[in-house]
Amino acid sequence: MLSRFPHLLYTLRTLRQHPAYTLLNVGGLALALACSLLLYWFVRFHQSFDTDQPQLARICRLVTESHYGGTAYNAGIPTPVGPTLRAEAPWLPVVAMSIGQTDQYVRVLGPVGQPGPKYAEGRTVAFVEPQYFSVLAYRWQAGTAARALRYPFTAVLTRRLARKYFGAANPLGRCLRLNSYLEVMVTGLLDDIPANTDQPYELFISYATLHYYQHSGTTLTTWDGVSSQTHGWVLLPPSGPAAQLAQTLAQTLTALHRRHSPATLPMARYRVLPLADLHFSPEYNPGHYVSHATLGILTSIG
């Protein structure tokens, strides 16, 4: 049968006579294929960040560009921007604020308040307004955004943290203590967040708690200071082109800043950054971004 395929017969004979050469070629081919697959999955992973958001084309982050003898980029905005936009820019369907907290210690409290185990959390904790969940989609296992975070000292967490803190027990109604200062009750449960997102939060505390919490390092009324952890979110209306609406919103923000803090206006500029661009922005997502150029080079190599 093989005599009908002389080239195949010759190849098999050569491979048998030179096993080292055969191993080198086959190994090199396998390594090349493995590297190509790794590059493919790396590029695909980074291009998929937050693409599962159903309203991705309309979701934007508000960011700041400052000029103090040079240009500096800040991922945050002044905290009054959120409520001011809601009051004075009613054409925006949804405006939301979130304030991330870093290096928090979370202690689990027992059913009657007795101290339990303590956990160090890096970037998973944030104070958020209920509207945050109207901008960004999460899957709720228990509770709703409108009710779960309506009142101070309430919190929502992901299934991963619920298992970490409470094991198989029902987390609803249980209490947590942050940094020995703040006690919150769990009122909602979310599905775990995906790996391909730039929103690392898994423990969400009601924004209303900030009015009573003096250790957050956050000033809620001043336009003069900007923390990179204070994020403003908007959902653009579907009534027009997103780019044009974003430009209008940036102008609106400048006008509001001029009215509320004219002394600092010459040094501040607002930008409206689409969520789809956040993962690729070195200015507003430092330490977590990947450039389009890098992905293009890796694609050409693979």
Tell me the pLDDT tens digit for each residue of 180-237. Answer: 889 999 999 999 999 999 999 999 999 999 988 765 555 788 887 788 999 999 999 9
Q: Say if CB 127 and CB 207 are below 8 A apart.
A: yes
Nearest to 80 by CA among 196, 227, 200, 249: 227
Are 65 and 42 contained in the same domain? no
Distances 66 to 81, 196, 266 between C-alpha atoms, Å: 16, 29, 9
Are 31 and 68 contained in the same domain? no
- Judged against a pLDDT cut of 50, whether residue 141 lies above it is answered with yes
Distance of CA 210 to the CA centre of its chain: 21
Are 90 and 227 contained in the same domain? yes
- Mean of the pLDDT values across residues 58-67? 90
List the domain range (segments joined by +) for residue 21: 2-47
Measured distance CA(196)–CA(178) in Å, rounded: 27
Does some domain include residue 233? Answer: yes
Nearest to 106 by CA among 157, 178, 47, 49: 178
Q: Which two tokens stand for residue 51?
A: 């693409």
Q: Is 56 helix (H, G, I), strand (E, B) or coil?
A: helix
Does some domain include residue 242? Answer: yes
Are 80 and 208 contained in the same domain? yes
- Mean of the pLDDT values across residues 104-123? 88
